[in-house]
Structure 1
Amino acid sequence: MNLQARQAVQSAASSSTPGSKAASGESERPARERERGGQAMVAPLARSLSILAAFTPQTPWLCNQELVLETGIPAPSVSRMLRSLVALGYLHYSPERRKYRLAAPVLSLGYAAIAHSNVQRVARLEMQSFADASESYVVLGARDRLDVIVLETCAGRPGALDLNLSAGTRLRIASSPMGWAMLAALPELERFYLLGNVERKTEREWPLLRRRITEGISQVHNAGYCMSLGEWEAELAIVAAPLVIADRTPLVLACIGKSARMGRARIERELGRRLVAAAQSLQQQALFAGG
C-alpha cells in the first residue's frame, strides 16, 4: 500500500474523534472525493477500511458503539457501513451478541497480500536460529497505522521466556523499540505525518514519547538497531532493527529477553550486531528468492 493510501485509511480513523462535532451527532459531510497529497481520496471507502481494521485478536467482537469510539466515525455512518460490510460478506453479525466480527472474505484479502511472498517463510528459519542461539524471543512485525502488528514469533529454549505476543498482537509505534526502528526506516515525509498523528492522540504523553522516539531513531541511524532496557516491562530488554526489502513496506525484527541476560554490555558487544546481521541476511535472502 503506498503512502497516500496509508494516509487515507489513517485519516479516516482519526479525522473525527468522539468529542468532535461529527461524533456529537452533527450531520456528516456528504460522501465525496477529497484531495489529499495530490490524489483523490474516497472518504466512505477509507472509513470502511478503518472499521475493518478496528477488529483485533484481542477484540474479535465489536458492537456499533465500540466501533464509533474506536474509529471516531459518526454513529449513523458506522451503522450504514456495517450493513454494507455484512451484505458484502466481510463482517458477520450475531443477533444474540448484538455484535460484529470479521468474516472469511477478510482472511482471503490478507492471504492475498502475503501468498506470493517468501519473506515470512525465510524469516522464520533465521528467527528460530537467532532465538535458539541467544535464548531469547524473536519477533517480526509490520506497521498498521499507528501500531506495529506482530507477523511471526519464535522462542528460544522452551520456558525461557513466556510472552503473549502471538501473530496479530499490536504494539504502539510510539512507545516500543519495534516502533522506533520502524519509524527510522520510513521516508521522512511519511514519518513526519505519522508523528503528527501520534502527537494529536497522546497529548500529555507526547514530550516523553518524542524524546524516546528521537533517541531510538538516532540509535538506528548510528548503530543499525535501537534498544530498551526495562522500559517496556521492568524485567525485559528489547533490541530492534529495521528490515527493508525492495518494493515492500519496511518490516522490523526484534529480540526480547530477560534483562538479567540481556544487559547493555551484551547488547552492544554481541546481540545488537547479530540482530542487524540477521536483518541484512533476510534482506538478501528475500531479494534472491523474489520475496
Structure 2
Amino acid sequence: MSLFMRRELETILSNSKIDDRQFVNSLSRGLNVLQAFYPNCGPLGNQDLSKLTGLPKPTISRITYTLTRLGFLTFLSNIGKYELGLPILNISNTMISNMQIRKVSHQIMQDLANYADASIGLAEKYANQMIYINNCIGKTSHALSINVGTSVSIARTSLGCALLACLPDDERELILNQVKAETPANKWSAIYDLQQRSKEQYLKKGFCIVDGDWRNHISAVAVPLYIKEMRYYYAINCAGPAISLSEDRLMRDIGPRLITAKREIESQLSIGRLLPNERY
C-alpha cells in the first residue's frame, strides 16, 4: 500500500466515523489490516502491519489473531508472519465476476486485442493508482499479460494519464499534488511534462499516447471512461512492444478504435457520453 493509498483509506475511515453511531471501529481496523497487503509484498508480520497501517502493535496482534481464526489470514509459523487466506480470493473473484462493466467490455476488448495483437486493459482509479480489473491479450506471446488486481502508477502510465486528463481541473490538481509529494524532486519535472502533454493530446484527439514512460520499449494509448451515476473512473488502454505499436499506428489506427470501443461500452451500459471536452 502506497503512502497516499494509506492516507486516503485513513481519510475515508475518519470521515465515516464523524457523528456516525453505526460505524464499527474494530471492523474498520480489521479491513485496514487486510488492505495493507499488496501485490508481491510477501508475508507480513505484526510489526510490518503496524508500520503500514499506523495502528499500535498490540491492536495489530489482536486483529491478526482474529483474522487468522476466521481464515482471512494464514499464519506462517516458520517465519512468524502472515499472508492472505483463501476467503479473500473468494471475495475478490465474486466481486470481479459480478462487475457489470467487466462483463460488458470483455468481448469488445478481446476483439480489439486480436486486431491489434496487443494487450487491452481496463483499470479503475483507486487513490494514486490504476488497478486492472480486466486484461485481454492478442494471439501472440508479444502481448503483455497483466494479472487482474495489478496496480500501476496513475502518473506514469497511459491509463493514468488518460484518466487524469478527463478530470475536472481541481480534482486533477489535487491528485498531482499528492503524487508530487511522494515523488523525488529530480523525477517530478518529467512526470509533470508527461501530464501536460497527455492533457493537451486528450483535448485534441480524445486519447493519450505514452511511449516508454512506464516500461522501456512499451508503447500504449488509452481513453478514459467515467460512470457519472456512480462516480467511478475507468480507463481502457492498448499496450505492447513499440516495434509493433508505433506512434503513427497508435495515432491513426488504435487510438480511434479505442474511442469506438469506449463508446460501445458506454452504449451497452447506457451511461452516455459524460466526459468533459470530449471530441465526437
TM-score computed with the length of structure 2 as normaliser: 0.78
1:102 pairs with one of 84, 88, 99: 84
What is the distance in 2 between the residues matched to 1:43 and 1:207?
A: 41
What is the distance in 1 between the residues matched to 2:45 and 2:138?
A: 39
2:215 maps to 1:233:
yes
Higher alpha-carbon deviation: 104-113 or 278-287? 104-113
Match of 1:275 in 2: 258
2:209 maps to 1:213:
no
1:59-80 CA-to-partner distances (Å, cap 9, x unmatched) read: 3532223334444555455434
3-state SS, counterpart of residue 175 of structure 1: coil
Match of 1:134 in 2: 116
Q: Which amino acid aligns with 1:233?
A: R
3-state SS, counterpart of residue 157 of structure 1: coil
3-state SS, counterpart of residue 235 of structure 2: strand
Contact 1:13–1:47 at 8 Å: present in 2 too? no
Contact 2:162–2:224 at 8 Å: present in 1 too? yes
3-state SS, counterpart of residue 243 of structure 2: coil
Match of 2:156 in 1: 175
Quote the offset at 1:185 in angstroms: 3.6
Contact 2:212–2:218 at 8 Å: present in 1 too? yes
1:266 pairs with one of 246, 249, 270: 249
Match of 1:242 in 2: 224
Q: Relative to 1, partners in 2 of residues 1:110 and 1:181: Cα closer, same or farther, differing over 3 Å?
A: same
3-state SS, counterpart of residue 152 of structure 1: strand
Contact 1:12–1:46 at 8 Å: present in 2 too? no
Q: Relative to 1, partners in 2 of residues 1:254 and 1:143: Cα closer, same or farther, differing over 3 Å?
A: same
Quote the offset at 1:245 in angstroms: 2.7
Contact 1:246–1:287 at 8 Å: present in 2 too? no
Q: Which amino acid aligns with 2:216?
A: A
What is the distance in 2 between the residues matched to 1:90 and 1:79?
A: 14
Structure 2 unaligned regions, length at least 5:
272-280
Quote the offset at 1:264 in angstroms: 1.8
TM-score computed with the length of structure 1 as normaliser: 0.76
Contact 1:142–1:252 at 8 Å: present in 2 too? yes
2:208 maps to 1:192:
no
Q: Relative to 1, partners in 2 of residues 1:227 and 1:62: Cα closer, same or farther, differing over 3 Å?
A: same
Match of 2:278 in 1: none
What is the distance in 2 between the residues matched to 1:97 and 1:138?
A: 39
* Cα root mean square deviation, aligned: 3.2
Q: Which amino acid aligns with 1:120?
A: R
Q: Relative to 1, partners in 2 of residues 1:64 and 1:219: Cα closer, same or farther, differing over 3 Å?
A: farther
Higher alpha-carbon deviation: 119-128 or 86-95? 86-95
Structure 1 unaligned regions, length at least 5:
1-7, 16-32
Quote the offset at 1:226 in angstroms: 0.7
Query: For this pair of structures, how many residues does the alignment match?
Result: 263
3-state SS, counterpart of residue 107 of structure 2: helix
3-state SS, counterpart of residue 234 of structure 1: coil
1:151 pairs with one of 116, 133, 140: 133
Percentage of matched positions with identical amino acids:
27
Q: Relative to 1, partners in 2 of residues 1:74 and 1:179: Cα closer, same or farther, differing over 3 Å?
A: farther
What is the distance in 2 between the residues matched to 1:12 and 1:245?
A: 21
Quote the offset at 1:278 in angstroms: 0.8
What is the distance in 2 between the residues matched to 1:276 and 1:71?
A: 40
What is the distance in 2 between the residues matched to 1:47 and 1:195?
A: 28
